[in-house]
Amino acid sequence: MLPISLGRLGQVEIGMILWRGEVGTTLFFVLSGFLLSLPYWRGSQERILFFMGRRLIRLWPALAVAIVIHTLVFRLWNYPMFTAQISTHLLLIHNLFEFSVFGISAPWWYLATQMQLYLAVPLVFWILRRLTRGKRAHDTAMFLVWVLCGLVAAPVAILLQRFVATTEPDARFLLADGLVWHTSVAVHIAQFATGIGLGRAYLLLADDKRRRWWRWAAPLAIVTLAILWPAEWVMSKNFWPKRPLLLAGIILWVSLLDQSKTARWLEWRPMRWLGQVSYGAFLYHGMMLTLVFQSYPHLLDRRSFMHHTSAKAALALGASLAMGALSYYAIERPILRSFAKRQRQTHPAETATAA
Protein backbone atom coordinates (compact mmCIF):
# COMPACT_ATOMS: atom_id res chain seq x y z
CA MET A 1 0.00 0.00 0.00
CA LEU A 2 1.35 3.41 -0.93
CA PRO A 3 2.12 6.10 1.68
CA ILE A 4 0.07 9.28 1.36
CA SER A 5 1.25 12.51 2.93
CA LEU A 6 -1.65 14.06 4.81
CA GLY A 7 0.29 16.00 7.44
CA ARG A 8 0.07 15.70 11.21
CA LEU A 9 -2.44 16.35 13.96
CA GLY A 10 -0.38 17.06 17.06
CA GLN A 11 1.92 14.04 17.26
CA VAL A 12 -0.39 11.80 15.22
CA GLU A 13 0.75 11.10 11.66
CA ILE A 14 -2.43 11.27 9.61
CA GLY A 15 -0.54 10.11 6.53
CA MET A 16 0.09 6.76 8.19
CA ILE A 17 -3.58 5.82 7.85
CA LEU A 18 -2.83 4.21 4.48
CA TRP A 19 0.77 3.24 5.16
CA ARG A 20 1.06 -0.55 5.40
CA GLY A 21 -2.40 -0.66 6.93
CA GLU A 22 -1.00 -0.03 10.42
CA VAL A 23 -3.76 2.29 11.58
CA GLY A 24 -6.32 0.04 9.93
CA THR A 25 -4.98 -2.94 11.86
CA THR A 26 -5.13 -1.03 15.14
CA LEU A 27 -8.67 0.08 14.31
CA PHE A 28 -9.78 -3.50 13.68
CA PHE A 29 -8.33 -4.74 16.97
CA VAL A 30 -9.88 -1.87 18.97
CA LEU A 31 -13.23 -2.33 17.22
CA SER A 32 -13.14 -6.11 17.71
CA GLY A 33 -12.52 -5.75 21.44
CA PHE A 34 -15.29 -3.16 21.67
CA LEU A 35 -17.96 -5.20 19.88
CA LEU A 36 -16.94 -8.51 21.40
CA SER A 37 -17.04 -7.23 24.98
CA LEU A 38 -20.45 -5.53 24.85
CA PRO A 39 -22.51 -8.69 25.55
CA TYR A 40 -20.24 -9.57 28.49
CA TRP A 41 -20.43 -6.07 29.95
CA ARG A 42 -24.21 -6.46 29.73
CA GLY A 43 -24.00 -9.69 31.77
CA SER A 44 -23.96 -12.42 29.14
CA GLN A 45 -23.65 -15.92 30.60
CA GLU A 46 -22.62 -17.50 27.31
CA ARG A 47 -20.39 -20.56 27.71
CA ILE A 48 -16.83 -20.38 26.39
CA LEU A 49 -17.22 -23.45 24.17
CA PHE A 50 -20.44 -22.11 22.70
CA PHE A 51 -18.78 -18.78 21.96
CA MET A 52 -15.73 -20.35 20.33
CA GLY A 53 -17.96 -22.68 18.34
CA ARG A 54 -19.80 -19.71 16.86
CA ARG A 55 -16.55 -17.94 15.98
CA LEU A 56 -15.02 -21.03 14.36
CA ILE A 57 -18.15 -21.72 12.34
CA ARG A 58 -18.04 -18.14 11.13
CA LEU A 59 -14.34 -18.12 10.19
CA TRP A 60 -13.01 -21.61 9.54
CA PRO A 61 -15.03 -23.10 6.63
CA ALA A 62 -14.49 -20.09 4.36
CA LEU A 63 -10.81 -20.03 5.36
CA ALA A 64 -10.41 -23.73 4.50
CA VAL A 65 -11.89 -23.18 1.04
CA ALA A 66 -9.69 -20.10 0.54
CA ILE A 67 -6.62 -22.18 1.43
CA VAL A 68 -7.56 -24.73 -1.23
CA ILE A 69 -8.08 -22.01 -3.85
CA HIS A 70 -4.78 -20.29 -3.00
CA THR A 71 -3.00 -23.65 -3.17
CA LEU A 72 -4.36 -24.34 -6.65
CA VAL A 73 -3.80 -20.83 -8.02
CA PHE A 74 -0.23 -20.42 -6.74
CA ARG A 75 0.76 -24.15 -6.79
CA LEU A 76 1.83 -24.02 -3.19
CA TRP A 77 2.80 -27.69 -3.17
CA ASN A 78 6.01 -26.66 -4.93
CA TYR A 79 7.10 -24.53 -1.96
CA PRO A 80 9.07 -25.81 1.07
CA MET A 81 7.21 -26.90 4.21
CA PHE A 82 3.93 -27.06 2.30
CA THR A 83 2.29 -29.52 4.72
CA ALA A 84 3.31 -27.43 7.73
CA GLN A 85 1.95 -24.30 6.05
CA ILE A 86 -1.47 -25.86 5.51
CA SER A 87 -1.59 -27.41 8.99
CA THR A 88 -0.71 -24.22 10.87
CA HIS A 89 -3.23 -22.19 8.87
CA LEU A 90 -6.04 -24.69 9.44
CA LEU A 91 -5.27 -24.67 13.17
CA LEU A 92 -5.10 -20.84 13.16
CA ILE A 93 -1.65 -20.85 14.75
CA HIS A 94 0.32 -19.69 11.70
CA ASN A 95 1.24 -16.41 13.45
CA LEU A 96 3.44 -18.40 15.86
CA PHE A 97 6.09 -19.44 13.30
CA GLU A 98 8.28 -17.37 11.01
CA PHE A 99 7.83 -19.68 8.01
CA SER A 100 4.04 -19.51 8.11
CA VAL A 101 3.14 -15.96 9.27
CA PHE A 102 2.92 -14.65 5.70
CA GLY A 103 3.11 -18.11 4.17
CA ILE A 104 -0.10 -18.30 2.11
CA SER A 105 -1.53 -14.79 2.25
CA ALA A 106 0.15 -12.02 4.22
CA PRO A 107 -3.02 -10.45 5.75
CA TRP A 108 -4.16 -13.78 7.20
CA TRP A 109 -1.91 -13.41 10.26
CA TYR A 110 -4.67 -11.19 11.64
CA LEU A 111 -7.11 -14.14 11.79
CA ALA A 112 -4.83 -16.21 14.02
CA THR A 113 -3.97 -13.35 16.37
CA GLN A 114 -7.60 -12.30 16.65
CA MET A 115 -8.80 -15.84 17.35
CA GLN A 116 -6.27 -16.17 20.18
CA LEU A 117 -7.51 -12.88 21.64
CA TYR A 118 -11.13 -14.01 21.20
CA LEU A 119 -10.42 -16.97 23.45
CA ALA A 120 -9.15 -14.70 26.24
CA VAL A 121 -12.26 -12.52 26.51
CA PRO A 122 -14.90 -15.03 27.69
CA LEU A 123 -12.27 -16.82 29.79
CA VAL A 124 -11.26 -13.69 31.73
CA PHE A 125 -14.86 -12.58 32.20
CA TRP A 126 -15.78 -16.08 33.42
CA ILE A 127 -12.90 -16.16 35.95
CA LEU A 128 -13.60 -12.71 37.38
CA ARG A 129 -17.32 -13.40 37.58
CA ARG A 130 -16.50 -16.16 40.05
CA LEU A 131 -13.93 -14.16 42.00
CA THR A 132 -16.08 -11.07 42.55
CA ARG A 133 -19.45 -10.47 44.15
CA GLY A 134 -21.91 -8.08 42.61
CA LYS A 135 -22.01 -6.62 39.13
CA ARG A 136 -20.30 -3.35 40.08
CA ALA A 137 -17.34 -5.13 41.68
CA HIS A 138 -17.09 -7.46 38.70
CA ASP A 139 -17.20 -4.63 36.17
CA THR A 140 -14.62 -2.59 38.08
CA ALA A 141 -12.24 -5.56 38.35
CA MET A 142 -12.77 -6.37 34.68
CA PHE A 143 -12.05 -2.83 33.59
CA LEU A 144 -8.86 -2.68 35.68
CA VAL A 145 -7.66 -6.01 34.28
CA TRP A 146 -7.92 -4.79 30.69
CA VAL A 147 -6.36 -1.41 31.49
CA LEU A 148 -3.50 -3.32 33.12
CA CYS A 149 -3.14 -5.42 29.96
CA GLY A 150 -2.81 -2.25 27.96
CA LEU A 151 -0.20 -0.81 30.31
CA VAL A 152 2.03 -3.86 30.72
CA ALA A 153 1.83 -5.18 27.16
CA ALA A 154 4.74 -3.08 25.91
CA PRO A 155 7.34 -3.95 28.59
CA VAL A 156 6.34 -7.63 28.64
CA ALA A 157 6.55 -7.91 24.86
CA ILE A 158 9.97 -6.20 24.80
CA LEU A 159 11.28 -8.48 27.57
CA LEU A 160 10.13 -11.49 25.55
CA GLN A 161 11.89 -10.13 22.49
CA ARG A 162 15.14 -9.68 24.41
CA PHE A 163 14.86 -13.19 25.83
CA VAL A 164 14.42 -14.67 22.36
CA ALA A 165 17.49 -12.74 21.18
CA THR A 166 19.63 -14.56 23.76
CA THR A 167 18.41 -18.05 22.82
CA GLU A 168 19.32 -17.98 19.10
CA PRO A 169 16.36 -20.11 17.94
CA ASP A 170 15.87 -21.71 14.53
CA ALA A 171 15.23 -18.84 12.10
CA ARG A 172 12.44 -20.81 10.40
CA PHE A 173 10.41 -20.70 13.59
CA LEU A 174 11.37 -17.61 15.57
CA LEU A 175 13.51 -14.47 15.28
CA ALA A 176 14.14 -11.75 17.85
CA ASP A 177 12.79 -9.04 15.55
CA GLY A 178 10.93 -11.21 13.07
CA LEU A 179 7.38 -11.47 11.81
CA VAL A 180 6.17 -13.53 14.77
CA TRP A 181 7.04 -10.68 17.11
CA HIS A 182 5.18 -8.07 15.06
CA THR A 183 2.02 -10.19 14.73
CA SER A 184 1.96 -11.64 18.25
CA VAL A 185 -0.79 -11.39 20.85
CA ALA A 186 1.70 -9.65 23.17
CA VAL A 187 2.03 -6.75 20.72
CA HIS A 188 -1.66 -6.38 19.89
CA ILE A 189 -3.34 -7.11 23.21
CA ALA A 190 -3.04 -3.42 24.17
CA GLN A 191 -5.19 -2.45 21.19
CA PHE A 192 -7.72 -5.19 21.93
CA ALA A 193 -7.83 -4.27 25.63
CA THR A 194 -8.49 -0.65 24.69
CA GLY A 195 -11.58 -1.79 22.80
CA ILE A 196 -12.81 -3.81 25.78
CA GLY A 197 -12.44 -0.84 28.11
CA LEU A 198 -14.19 1.26 25.48
CA GLY A 199 -17.17 -1.10 25.65
CA ARG A 200 -17.63 -0.35 29.33
CA ALA A 201 -17.27 3.40 28.78
CA TYR A 202 -19.82 3.30 25.98
CA LEU A 203 -22.46 1.54 28.09
CA LEU A 204 -21.96 3.96 30.99
CA LEU A 205 -22.30 7.03 28.77
CA ALA A 206 -25.11 5.68 26.61
CA ASP A 207 -27.23 4.85 29.68
CA ASP A 208 -26.63 8.20 31.42
CA LYS A 209 -29.62 10.32 30.46
CA ARG A 210 -28.85 13.10 32.95
CA ARG A 211 -25.34 14.10 31.83
CA ARG A 212 -25.61 14.30 28.08
CA TRP A 213 -22.62 16.62 27.94
CA TRP A 214 -20.42 13.63 28.84
CA ARG A 215 -21.20 12.17 25.42
CA TRP A 216 -19.16 14.98 23.90
CA ALA A 217 -16.67 15.63 26.70
CA ALA A 218 -15.48 12.03 27.20
CA PRO A 219 -14.56 11.26 23.56
CA LEU A 220 -12.96 14.70 23.21
CA ALA A 221 -10.87 14.11 26.35
CA ILE A 222 -9.68 10.71 25.07
CA VAL A 223 -8.70 12.08 21.65
CA THR A 224 -6.95 15.09 23.22
CA LEU A 225 -4.98 12.84 25.56
CA ALA A 226 -3.88 10.64 22.66
CA ILE A 227 -2.79 13.61 20.54
CA LEU A 228 -0.86 15.38 23.31
CA TRP A 229 0.74 12.27 24.83
CA PRO A 230 4.54 12.75 24.59
CA ALA A 231 6.05 10.57 21.87
CA GLU A 232 9.09 9.77 24.05
CA TRP A 233 6.78 8.04 26.56
CA VAL A 234 5.56 5.52 23.97
CA MET A 235 7.58 2.36 23.38
CA SER A 236 5.87 1.67 20.08
CA LYS A 237 3.21 3.39 18.00
CA ASN A 238 1.00 0.31 18.33
CA PHE A 239 1.18 0.13 22.11
CA TRP A 240 -1.07 1.83 24.64
CA PRO A 241 -1.99 4.59 24.83
CA LYS A 242 -1.37 6.70 21.74
CA ARG A 243 -2.89 5.24 18.58
CA PRO A 244 -5.41 2.89 20.26
CA LEU A 245 -6.67 5.72 22.49
CA LEU A 246 -7.09 8.08 19.56
CA LEU A 247 -9.17 5.53 17.66
CA ALA A 248 -11.13 4.63 20.80
CA GLY A 249 -12.15 8.26 21.25
CA ILE A 250 -13.31 8.49 17.65
CA ILE A 251 -15.28 5.22 17.92
CA LEU A 252 -16.88 6.37 21.18
CA TRP A 253 -17.91 9.69 19.67
CA VAL A 254 -19.45 8.01 16.59
CA SER A 255 -21.23 5.42 18.76
CA LEU A 256 -22.79 8.09 20.98
CA LEU A 257 -24.21 10.11 18.11
CA ASP A 258 -27.95 9.99 17.37
CA GLN A 259 -28.33 6.23 17.56
CA SER A 260 -31.48 6.13 15.43
CA LYS A 261 -29.65 7.80 12.54
CA THR A 262 -26.59 5.61 13.01
CA ALA A 263 -28.76 2.48 13.05
CA ARG A 264 -30.56 3.53 9.87
CA TRP A 265 -27.25 4.11 8.15
CA LEU A 266 -25.89 0.72 9.24
CA GLU A 267 -29.12 -0.98 8.17
CA TRP A 268 -28.86 0.55 4.70
CA ARG A 269 -28.84 -2.37 2.28
CA PRO A 270 -25.44 -1.64 0.63
CA MET A 271 -23.82 -1.33 4.07
CA ARG A 272 -25.34 -4.63 5.21
CA TRP A 273 -24.17 -6.34 2.04
CA LEU A 274 -20.67 -4.94 2.46
CA GLY A 275 -20.56 -6.26 6.01
CA GLN A 276 -21.69 -9.69 4.85
CA VAL A 277 -19.09 -10.09 2.10
CA SER A 278 -16.23 -8.29 3.89
CA TYR A 279 -14.73 -11.44 5.42
CA GLY A 280 -14.58 -13.22 2.08
CA ALA A 281 -13.14 -10.10 0.44
CA PHE A 282 -10.46 -10.02 3.15
CA LEU A 283 -9.56 -13.65 2.43
CA TYR A 284 -9.06 -13.08 -1.30
CA HIS A 285 -7.85 -9.49 -1.50
CA GLY A 286 -4.16 -10.43 -1.22
CA MET A 287 -4.52 -13.01 -3.97
CA MET A 288 -6.32 -10.55 -6.25
CA LEU A 289 -3.68 -7.88 -5.71
CA THR A 290 -0.97 -10.38 -6.62
CA LEU A 291 -2.79 -11.56 -9.73
CA VAL A 292 -3.55 -8.05 -10.97
CA PHE A 293 -0.19 -6.41 -10.18
CA GLN A 294 2.26 -9.24 -10.82
CA SER A 295 1.00 -12.44 -12.38
CA TYR A 296 -0.77 -10.93 -15.40
CA PRO A 297 1.28 -7.94 -16.59
CA HIS A 298 -0.23 -8.15 -20.08
CA LEU A 299 -3.51 -6.90 -18.57
CA LEU A 300 -1.67 -3.79 -17.41
CA ASP A 301 -0.13 -2.56 -20.65
CA ARG A 302 1.38 0.92 -20.36
CA ARG A 303 -0.77 2.20 -23.19
CA SER A 304 -3.98 1.14 -21.48
CA PHE A 305 -6.05 2.74 -18.74
CA MET A 306 -5.14 -0.16 -16.45
CA HIS A 307 -1.56 1.11 -16.19
CA HIS A 308 -2.58 3.55 -13.49
CA THR A 309 -2.14 2.26 -9.93
CA SER A 310 -5.57 3.48 -8.84
CA ALA A 311 -7.24 1.57 -11.65
CA LYS A 312 -5.31 -1.59 -10.80
CA ALA A 313 -6.30 -1.25 -7.15
CA ALA A 314 -9.94 -0.72 -8.14
CA LEU A 315 -9.85 -3.85 -10.30
CA ALA A 316 -8.34 -5.88 -7.45
CA LEU A 317 -10.93 -4.50 -5.01
CA GLY A 318 -13.80 -5.32 -7.35
CA ALA A 319 -12.52 -8.85 -7.85
CA SER A 320 -12.09 -9.25 -4.08
CA LEU A 321 -15.68 -8.15 -3.43
CA ALA A 322 -16.90 -10.57 -6.09
CA MET A 323 -15.00 -13.44 -4.45
CA GLY A 324 -16.27 -12.28 -1.06
CA ALA A 325 -19.86 -12.41 -2.29
CA LEU A 326 -19.31 -15.89 -3.73
CA SER A 327 -17.78 -17.05 -0.44
CA TYR A 328 -20.66 -15.61 1.60
CA TYR A 329 -23.56 -16.93 -0.45
CA ALA A 330 -22.05 -20.32 -1.28
CA ILE A 331 -20.24 -21.17 1.98
CA GLU A 332 -20.72 -18.83 4.91
CA ARG A 333 -24.45 -18.13 4.86
CA PRO A 334 -25.63 -21.76 4.46
CA ILE A 335 -23.33 -22.94 7.27
CA LEU A 336 -24.30 -20.06 9.59
CA ARG A 337 -28.00 -20.71 9.03
CA SER A 338 -27.59 -24.42 9.68
CA PHE A 339 -25.59 -23.76 12.85
CA ALA A 340 -28.10 -21.19 14.14
CA LYS A 341 -31.01 -23.55 13.50
CA ARG A 342 -29.32 -26.38 15.37
CA GLN A 343 -28.41 -24.12 18.29
CA ARG A 344 -31.98 -22.85 18.60
CA GLN A 345 -33.11 -26.44 18.94
CA THR A 346 -30.45 -27.60 21.42
CA HIS A 347 -29.59 -24.42 23.40
CA PRO A 348 -32.45 -21.92 22.99
CA ALA A 349 -31.49 -19.84 26.07
CA GLU A 350 -27.83 -19.37 25.01
CA THR A 351 -28.80 -18.62 21.44
CA ALA A 352 -31.13 -15.85 22.61
CA THR A 353 -28.38 -14.41 24.84
CA ALA A 354 -25.82 -14.49 22.01
CA ALA A 355 -28.21 -12.78 19.64
What per-residue confidence (pLDDT) applies to 192? 85
Q: What is the pLDDT of residues 70-91, one digit of tens each?
A: 999 999 998 888 999 999 999 9
Pairing type for strands 8-9 and 12-13 reads antiparallel
Is the bond preceding 169 in cis, omega lying within 30 degrees of 0?
no
Count the residues in the chain: 355
Interval 145-164 mean pLDDT: 74
What per-residue confidence (pLDDT) applies to 93? 92
User: How far is Cα 54 from Cα 6, in angstroms, rounded to an integer?
Assistant: 40
Query: Which is nearest to 192 in space by CA: 114, 139, 135?
Result: 114
Q: How confident is the model at residue 320 (pLDDT cuts 50, 70, 90)?
A: very high
What per-residue confidence (pLDDT) applies to 6? 34
- The predicted model scores a pTM of 0.78
User: How far is Cα 104 from Cα 83, in angstroms, rounded to an integer?
Assistant: 12
Using alpha carbons only, what angle is made at residue 135 by residues 134 and 137, rounded to the nearest 5 degrees?
70
What per-residue confidence (pLDDT) applies to 167? 78
What per-residue confidence (pLDDT) applies to 296? 59
What per-residue confidence (pLDDT) applies to 40? 80
Q: How confident is the model at residue 209 (pLDDT cuts 50, 70, 90)?
A: low
Region label for 81, one of left (φ > 0), alpha (ψ between -120 and 50) or beta (otherwise): left
Interval 42-69 mean pLDDT: 83
Least reliable range by pLDDT among 202-216, 280-294, 317-331? 202-216
What per-residue confidence (pLDDT) applies to 65? 96
**What are the extents of the domains in the chain?**
8-257, 259-355
Least reliable range by pLDDT among 179-183, 224-228, 274-278? 224-228
